[in-house]
Every structure is written in C-alpha cells, then in structure tokens.
C-alpha cells in the first residue's frame, strides 16, 4: 500500500499498542476459561473472544510482514477454532498450551516492537504443538482444515478466479442459500474476500443483486447498495459458513439458509450443471425466495455480535483498517508525551498563580480586595484543571492485577499448593508512572505469600483450615493515597525463626529482646531470608528489602502485620501521583528546602537537657525514652549561618530507608504545601542529597531533600573528619517498625 513511511510507523505503533491490550485481555479470558471450566457456561463466548484476539493480531502481523507472529497466531486461531466448535476439547493440557502460546505471543510482539529478533524456537515449538493438536482433532473428526488464512491484499490486486474446491471429505455436501448485503464499507471490508473465502468451503455460485442501485443522480458512493446472493455447496457445517462472515456481521445483513428441499443429497451430479433456482438477480430479495430460516439452533438468521466488550477486530482484508472504536464510551489513544506536556503546563499555571497571589499583597488595599476575589476564582479553576489533567494519567490498577492470577496459578501449581486469589478494588486508579513501578513489588509480595505464607494442603487440613489457601489482593483510595494489600490466610510470620535467623546474621544483638513488630520489620532487612533452600520462587533474600526500597523511592511505605497460624497482611501505601508531592517547607540558615511529608513522623523542639554529644556518635537527643541520632542539615550541605543548637532550632523526626529513624536539625518549619516536582537532572546532573526541585510561589527554585542520601553524606563526612566512625545510628541492628 502506498502509505508514507511515517504513516506506516504510526500504524505500526497503534498495532503494537493494540497487541498489548489484546494480550492482556487474552490472559484475562484464559483465566476465565480455567475458572469457568468448573461451571462450564459461557465457554463458547470466551473462546470466541480469544479466537478474535488471535485473529486480529494475525491480520495486523501479516499486514506488517511479521511472519513469525502471523504464523503463531494462525496456529492459535486454528486450534481455537477447533475448540470453540467442540471438535477439540478444552483439556487442562490444552489450556496450558494456550497460556504458553500467549506468552510466546507476548515475546514475539515485544521483539517485533523493539525490532529485535525474538527467540523463534519457543514460538515455533508452540506452533508445532498447536498444529499437532489441530491434527489430532482432524483425525477424530474427518473435517478438512476450514480456517481460511485471510490474505492481505488491496482489493485491486485481487485475482478474479476462485481457488479450487477442497478435497472432498466423507461427509455429504449440503447446499446453502446465502444473502450478503453490506450495510457499510467504512470498516474496510472487501466483499470479494468474503466470497473468495466462501469459495474455499465448496462450490459456489454468486449473483450480484443490483436492485437497490439508484439512478446516477441519486447515487451516493458511500452508501452500499449491492447485495450478493450466493449458493454454496459444501461439506462444511453451517458454523464454518458463519465464521467467514464473522468479521463483517456488524456491517452487513447476512442470511444463511439451507437449500435441502430443493437439492436433496441424492441429487449429486446434476448440481454441477444446474445452478439452483435463485430469484432473478434484478428483483428485490423477498422472503419467499428463500426457504424458511433454519431451526434456531444458533440464534436467528442474522448473526449477532457476541457481547464480549472487545472492540470488533480489524477486517481480515483491511491491512491498515483499524478496528472501530468500542461501543459505549468513546476513547482516544494519546501519546504520553503530550499528556506530560499538559501536566507540565498546569504545574506552571499553579506556580504562576502563586506568584500572582504573592504580588497581590503589594497592592493598595482597594485594588487588593478585588484582586483577591479574582484570584480566588483563578485558584479554584486551576485546581480543578490540575485534577482533570492528573485524571488523564490515572489508570485502574486492573492492568497490574490482571497479571497476577496467572502467576498465582503457575506458582501454586509448581509448589503443590492450592491457592485461590481474590481481588477487589481493581478499578482503583493511580498515576501511570506508579502503575508501572507497582508490578515488581506486587509480584514479590504475592510470591512471598504463596511460598512462605500459604501452607501445603496437608498442613492446612491438619491445622483445621480449608485445603485451598486464599490470597486477597485489594486496592482502595484512602486520604489521597492508594492502599494496596496482600493478605493471606497462611501460617503467619514464624517469629522465633525470624529472630534466630536475624541473630545468626548479626542483625540483632544476642541479648536484645525485640518486640513482635520489630521482628516483623526484620523481614525488610537487606539480605534477610529464612528459607533454607533457595528456590527459583523466593528465598534469595533480595525480596522484601527490594520491595521496600522500590516503594519508598515512590514516596510510599510498606508495612506487615501477622498473626501466627492465621495469616499475614502486607500493606503498601503510595501517593496517587509522582508529579506532585506533599512536603514540609523548612529553613536552614539562608536556604529553604522541602522535606517529603511521607518521611516525616513528627517535629519537636527538644529541651536543652535532652541534647547530648556522645563521643563517637555525634549528637543525640533523648526523645520518648529513646536516643534519637541527630543530623544537622547545615553540616550536610556545609551551610553557614544556620542554627546549630537543636534546642533552639527544630528537630524533625524522619524515617529513612537505610538509616532508620533520625532527627533532622533545621532552623524553622515554614509550613506544609503541595509542590510540583521538577527533576534537576533534566538540565544539570544529579546533586547528592537532592531528590528533585520545585518552584515556590515567589518563583524561586527550592530543593526537595533526599533524606537517605543526606544521612549517608553526613556519615561520610564524619568518617573523613574523624569525628565519628561510619554508622551513626546507635541501633543499626534493629530497624524500627516500618
């Protein structure tokens, strides 16, 4: 097709985007199939939907010359077709093969998207196994391969001749009268392709009905007026004929009826010479011309689109034809960069508004009053605009949750456990960037729950629990943050074992008697693992500390609660977006900084008597019966003119990732505010101790502190100066409960 290269690129990109959606949906559908295999209903609908997915990807793949992808999907389609028509039964092995094909498909799509060569062996082996399955179905029921491989060709290049009649099978041929009247060409469907595909099913006579062709002055080229009356003699069942029309059923009137009465089976030879007495071509197709519709075995004579909620797939013949938008709510695909630019501009607007508010104070009182009223309106509008723009980036967590059932299934199977995964709150929305970062932590947590939490079936029965373990994955919005929980009803945290292990690893002093919460928090210690045997599932000890780090880098927290014998609950709380952050503005000497609110536990001004210089440990403050190590921000950043006495400044108790809880000494708290995060690396380079920047109401740039880095810098500084050994925390052995 004579598309400009950039249009082709665009179409390619759209195709790959669609593939991702299809693959996700595929996974979901196969999961439904597996679960639904028990109750058995709607299996056909689901298989139909999977079939259409394979078909849609195949059509696109063929159009873009991705032969490996097209081949694999073709095999899938063939197998799925046997399955949905009941010629192949949906065994667990078959389902596993389908799931595997889905994975191979994802691989191929990814490879094609990146332009890298995929490992074709896996795809080939799966394609072979699918072909094998199809063949086995074929031998059980002597039906020839019915699945037409739609050829991707522009209409003009179409050969006029029909392919030969397929090899006759043992079954008796039947005759069918078919009326095919397209009602729209906008989907890019080519009637010739349909007729050609029908021709592959058997012997066919097609007559063009031009009865609705208007006078030339009335002619509207976009209005379909033609219809085809087709008489088909075939050994294939009606479902195969309907399948040919599957992708045009929304865009055409289709009537299919048997011609048995007119042409009994015995009348075998004469049929070749004598075409059936179809109504005269030029007459309007009327009811008596066709025999009565067939008994309502599969609904009425007009095929209804199954209500799967999936967009109608691309037409078989339309290479670049896009699937029509899904019915119901309309949606558009937008490049993420464009949304980001919008988010940026709204951020600017919020800042400008703050600047205006600031300037307003300098006005004389009469003008000021009117300005303030106007600014209030602006403020309310810009806040709403910000919410609306942020909402564009919000996505339901479903896209991540949907990957989990599969993993649970695989993992539970491998470990010989039975696990039921229940999910709630899939519709909870969170910023796209957070969604992307959620997948790994969530996978880790669920793996942990299956591997460490849920017991083997025997053990569960012995403990008086149902054989099947339950993992509950939930998401909810709470106070401007998203809370995600992974709850299992397993054995709970084995605290004596955790403690013993921690002592062996030197994480806890021999004589220390940590509380239950403190023991639970040890699970987040780097390198901690209680599993004796390292499996490929979990037990490398890189699990929970990595999870915690990932979550904290997103401004979130992870906590764990557990009850021995009853189960464990992991809770993640995350900000809804990374583009804005709730922070506390503080002053240190002449400089202003923002401390992320997520890190702050409390702030206090200690009594002079509670502040002590401990030789070798820097300054500590006695707070709530415990010694809190202090870090002076002025020291970290080498600032002069800042308050050095904690009793005259403010101690902000913050929780850090790597150094536990510390007290940050600043001069003054200036207030809490939501800030727009601006990376400093965009035009400069990483600055140690600085997480990002933001712009204050007066237009001034303000740094957002990276507390972990600040503590590390302070330790490094003291080590260099010889004022303290590295490791200022008096209790490095025991991270406090997260």
Partner 1 sequence: MTATAANAAPRPAGHTAGHLDEAAETNQPVQFVAFKVNGDDFAVDIMAVREIKAWANVSSLPNMPSYVRGVLNLRGNIVPIFDLRCRFGRGATEATRLHVVIILIARGRTIGILVDAVSDILKAGSADLRALPEEDGEAGGFIAGLLALDRRMIAILDPDRLFDQSLVAIAAQAA
Distance, in Å, from the CA atom of 300 to the CA atom of 681, rounded to the nearest integer, reads 64
Smallest gap from Cβ 676 to partner 1, in A, equals 9
Smallest gap from Cβ 390 to partner 1, in A, equals 17
Q: Mention every residue, 6+ apart, whose C-beta is less than 8 A from residue 98.
A: 30, 33, 50, 76, 79, 80
Residue selected from 1, 7, 334, 701 as contacting partner 1 according to rule CB under 8 A? 701
Residue 341 interacts with partner 1 (CB under 8 A): yes or no: no
Smallest gap from Cβ 641 to partner 1, in A, equals 12
Residue 356 interacts with partner 1 (CB under 8 A): yes or no: no
Backbone angles phi, psi at 330, to 5 degrees: -80, 150
CB 105 within 8 A of CB 74: no
Among positions 131-150, residues that touch partner 1 (CB under 8 A) are none
Nearer to partner 1 by Cβ, of 548 and 693: the residue is: 693
Nearer to partner 1 by Cβ, of 110 and 591: the residue is: 591
Nearer to partner 1 by Cβ, of 605 and 686: the residue is: 686
Residue selected from 699, 725, 726, 727 as contacting partner 1 according to rule CB under 8 A? 699
Nearer to partner 1 by Cβ, of 199 and 649: the residue is: 649
CB 542 within 8 A of CB 560: no
β-strand partners of 558: 572
* Cα→Cα distances 465→447, 490, 563, 670, Å: 21, 9, 15, 54
CB 229 within 8 A of CB 281: yes
User: Near partner 1 by CB under 8 A, which window of 73-81, 361-369, 571-579, 690-698?
Assistant: 690-698
CB 681 within 8 A of CB 691: no
Residue 700 interacts with partner 1 (CB under 8 A): yes or no: yes
Distance, in Å, from the CA atom of 646 to the CA atom of 666, rounded to the nearest integer, reads 8
Which tokens go with 348? 């600017």
CB 569 within 8 A of CB 487: yes
Distance, in Å, from the CA atom of 135 to the CA atom of 142, rounded to the nearest integer, reads 10
Residue selected from 690, 723, 730, 736 as contacting partner 1 according to rule CB under 8 A? 690
User: Near partner 1 by CB under 8 A, which window of 193-201, 290-298, 346-354, 474-482?
Assistant: 346-354
In this structure, is the dihedral angle defined by the CA atoms of residues 659, 661, 667 and 672, taken in order, positive or negative? positive
Which tokens go with 716? 């490094």
CB 637 within 8 A of CB 591: yes
Smallest gap from Cβ 703 to partner 1, in A, equals 7
Residue selected from 152, 194, 204, 351 as contacting partner 1 according to rule CB under 8 A? 351
Smallest gap from Cβ 690 to partner 1, in A, equals 7
Nearer to partner 1 by Cβ, of 8 and 339: the residue is: 339
Nearest to 686 by CA among 718, 709, 664: 709
Which tokens go with 677? 């995060």
In this structure, is the dihedral angle defined by the CA atoms of residues 388, 392, 398 and 404, taken in order, positive or negative? negative
Among positions 520-579, residues that touch partner 1 (CB under 8 A) are none
* Helix segments in 505-593, DSSP class H: 516-521, 544-553
Smallest gap from Cβ 565 to partner 1, in A, equals 51
Residue selected from 8, 226, 680, 733 as contacting partner 1 according to rule CB under 8 A? 680
Residue 687 interacts with partner 1 (CB under 8 A): yes or no: yes
Q: Mention every residue, 6+ apart, whose C-beta is less than 8 A from residue 681.
A: none
Nearer to partner 1 by Cβ, of 636 and 661: the residue is: 636
In this structure, is the dihedral angle defined by the CA atoms of residues 453, 456, 461 and 466, taken in order, positive or negative? positive
The HSE-up count of residue 113 (CA atoms within 13 Å, CB side) is 14
Nearer to partner 1 by Cβ, of 467 and 668: the residue is: 668
Burial 353-379 (b: 16+ CB within 10 A, else e): bbeebeebeeeeeeeeeebeeebeeeb
Residue selected from 689, 707, 712, 734 as contacting partner 1 according to rule CB under 8 A? 689
Nearer to partner 1 by Cβ, of 250 and 591: the residue is: 591
- The rounded Cα 311 to chain-centroid distance in angstroms is 18
Smallest gap from Cβ 383 to partner 1, in A, equals 18
DSSP 190-205: -HHHHHHHHHTTEEEE
Among positions 476-505, residues that touch partner 1 (CB under 8 A) are none
Distance, in Å, from the CA atom of 474 to the CA atom of 486, rounded to the nearest integer, reads 7
Residue selected from 337, 533, 536, 684 as contacting partner 1 according to rule CB under 8 A? 684
Coil, strand or helix: which one is 604?
Answer: strand
Residue selected from 60, 146, 182, 347 as contacting partner 1 according to rule CB under 8 A? 347
Query: x-or-dash pattern for partner 1, window 611-650, by CB under 8 A?
Result: -------------------------xxxx-----------
Coil, strand or helix: which one is 668?
Answer: strand
Residue 394 interacts with partner 1 (CB under 8 A): yes or no: no
Query: x-or-dash pattern for partner 1, window 357-376, by CB under 8 A?
Result: --------------------
Smallest gap from Cβ 685 to partner 1, in A, equals 5
Q: Mention every residue, 6+ apart, whose C-beta is less than 8 A from residue 357.
A: 375, 379, 697
Residue selected from 153, 542, 702, 733 as contacting partner 1 according to rule CB under 8 A? 702
Smallest gap from Cβ 430 to partner 1, in A, equals 25
Residue 386 interacts with partner 1 (CB under 8 A): yes or no: no
Nearer to partner 1 by Cβ, of 624 and 720: the residue is: 720
Strand-strand pairing, 419-424 and 227-234: unpaired
Smallest gap from Cβ 637 to partner 1, in A, equals 4
Query: x-or-dash pattern for partner 1, window 578-617, by CB under 8 A?
Result: -------------x--------------------------
Distance, in Å, from the CA atom of 243 to the CA atom of 229, rounded to the nearest integer, reads 17
User: Near partner 1 by CB under 8 A, which window of 290-298, 599-607, 680-688, 727-735?
Assistant: 680-688
Smallest gap from Cβ 706 to partner 1, in A, equals 11
User: Near partner 1 by CB under 8 A, which window of 177-185, 207-215, 300-308, 685-693?
Assistant: 685-693
Residue selected from 290, 587, 693, 704 as contacting partner 1 according to rule CB under 8 A? 693
CB 554 within 8 A of CB 575: yes
Residue selected from 43, 171, 344, 582 as contacting partner 1 according to rule CB under 8 A? 344
Nearer to partner 1 by Cβ, of 400 and 642: the residue is: 642
Q: How many residues bind partner 1 (CB under 8 A)?
A: 28
Nearer to partner 1 by Cβ, of 90 and 636: the residue is: 636
Coil, strand or helix: which one is 37?
Answer: helix
Smallest gap from Cβ 700 to partner 1, in A, equals 6
Nearest to 193 by CA among 152, 233, 164: 152
β-strand partners of 692: 704
Residue 682 interacts with partner 1 (CB under 8 A): yes or no: yes
Smallest gap from Cβ 6 to partner 1, in A, equals 18
Distance, in Å, from the CA atom of 155 to the CA atom of 190, rounded to the nearest integer, reads 7
CB 524 within 8 A of CB 545: yes
Nearer to partner 1 by Cβ, of 154 and 726: the residue is: 726
User: What residues line the site for partner 1 (CB under 8 A)?
Assistant: 344, 347-348, 351, 591, 636-639, 678-680, 682-685, 687-690, 693, 695, 699-703, 713
């Amino acid at each position: 097709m004579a598309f400009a290269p950039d249009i082709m690129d665009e179409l390619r990109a759209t195709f790959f985007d669609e593939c991702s959606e299809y693959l996700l949906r595929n996974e979901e559908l196969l999961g439904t199939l597996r679960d639904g295999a028990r109750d058995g209903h709607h299996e056909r609908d689901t298989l139909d939907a999977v079939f259409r997915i394979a078909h849609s990807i195949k059509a696109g793949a063929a159009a873009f010359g991705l032969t490996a992808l097209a081949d694999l999907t073709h095999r899938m389609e063939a197998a799925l077709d046997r399955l949905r028509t009941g010629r192949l039964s949906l065994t667990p092995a078959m389902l596993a093969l389908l799931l595997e094909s889905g994975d191979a498909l994802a691989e191929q799509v990814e490879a094609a998207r990146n332009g890298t060569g995929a490992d074709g062996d896996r795809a080939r082996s799966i394609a072979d196994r699918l072909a094998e399955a199809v063949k086995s179905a074929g031998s059980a029921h002597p039906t020839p391969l019915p699945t037409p491989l739609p050829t991707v060709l522009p209409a003009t290049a179409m050969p006029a001749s029909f392919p030969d009649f397929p090899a006759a099978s043992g079954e008796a041929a039947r005759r069918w009268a078919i009326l095919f009247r397209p009602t729209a060409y906008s989907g890019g469907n080519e009637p010739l392709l349909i007729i050609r595909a029908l021709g592959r099913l058997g012997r066919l006579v097609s007559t063009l009905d031009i009865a609705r062709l208007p006078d030339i002055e009335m002619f509207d080229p976009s209005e379909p007026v033609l219809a085809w009356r087709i008489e088909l003699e075939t050994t294939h069942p009606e479902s195969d004929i309907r399948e040919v029309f599957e992708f045009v059923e929304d865009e055409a009137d289709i009537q299919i009826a048997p011609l048995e009465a007119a042409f009994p089976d015995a009348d075998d030879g004469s049929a070749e010479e004598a075409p059936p007495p179809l109504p005269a071509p030029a007459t309007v197709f009327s009811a008596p011309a066709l025999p009565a519709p067939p008994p309502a075995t599969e609904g009425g004579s007009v095929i209804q689109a199954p209500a799967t909620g999936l967009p109608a797939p691309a037409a078989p013949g339309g290479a670049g034809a896009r699937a029509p938008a899904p019915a119901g709510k309309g949606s558009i695909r937008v490049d993420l960069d464009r949304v980001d630019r919008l988010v940026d501009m709204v951020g600017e607007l919020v800042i400008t508004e703050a600047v205006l508010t600031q300037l307003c104070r300098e006005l004389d009182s009469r003008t000021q009053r009117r300005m303030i009223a106007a600014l209030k309106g602006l403020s309310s509008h810009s806040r709403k605009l910000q919410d609306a723009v942020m909402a564009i980036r919000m996505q339901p967590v479903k896209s991540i949750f949907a990957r989990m059932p599969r993993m649970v299934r695989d993992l539970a199977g491998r470990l010989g456990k039975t696990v039921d995964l229940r999910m709630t709150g899939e519709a909870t929305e969170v910023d796209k960037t957070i969604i992307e970062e959620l997948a790994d932590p969530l996978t880790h947590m669920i793996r942990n729950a299956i591997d460490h939490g849920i017991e083997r079936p025997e053990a569960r029965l012995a403990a008086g629990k149902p054989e099947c373990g339950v993992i509950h994955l939930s998401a909810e919005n709470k106070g401007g943050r998203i809370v995600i929980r992974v709850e299992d009803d397993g054995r709970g945290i084995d605290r004596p074992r955790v403690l013993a292990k921690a002592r062996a690893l030197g994480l806890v002093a021999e004589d220390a008697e940590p509380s239950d919460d403190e023991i639970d928090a040890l699970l987040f210690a780097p390198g901690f693992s209680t599993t004796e045997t390292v499996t490929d599932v979990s037990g490398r000890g890189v699990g929970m500390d990595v999870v915690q780090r990932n979550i904290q880098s997103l401004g979130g927290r992870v906590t764990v609660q557990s009850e021995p014998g009853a189960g464990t609950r992991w809770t993640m709380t995350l900000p809804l977006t990374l583009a804005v952050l709730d922070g506390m503005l503080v002053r240190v000497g002449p400089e202003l900084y923002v401390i992320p609110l997520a890190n702050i536990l409390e702030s206090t001004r200690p009594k002079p008597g509670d502040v002590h210089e401990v030789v070798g440990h820097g300054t500590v403050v006695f707070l709530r019966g415990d010694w809190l190590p202090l870090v002076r921000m002025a020291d970290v950043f080498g600032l002069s003119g800042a308050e050095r006495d904690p009793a005259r400044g403010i101690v902000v108790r913050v929780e850090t990732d790597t150094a536990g809880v510390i007290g940050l000494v600043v001069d003054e708290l200036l207030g809490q505010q939501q800030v727009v995060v601006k990376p400093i690396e965009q035009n400069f380079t990483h600055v140690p101790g600085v997480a990002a920047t933001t712009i204050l109401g007066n237009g001034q740039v303000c740094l957002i502190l990276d507390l972990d880095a600040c503590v590390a810098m302070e330790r490094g500084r003291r080590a260099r100066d010889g004022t303290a050994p590295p490791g200022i925390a008096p209790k490095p052995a025991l991270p406090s409960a997260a």
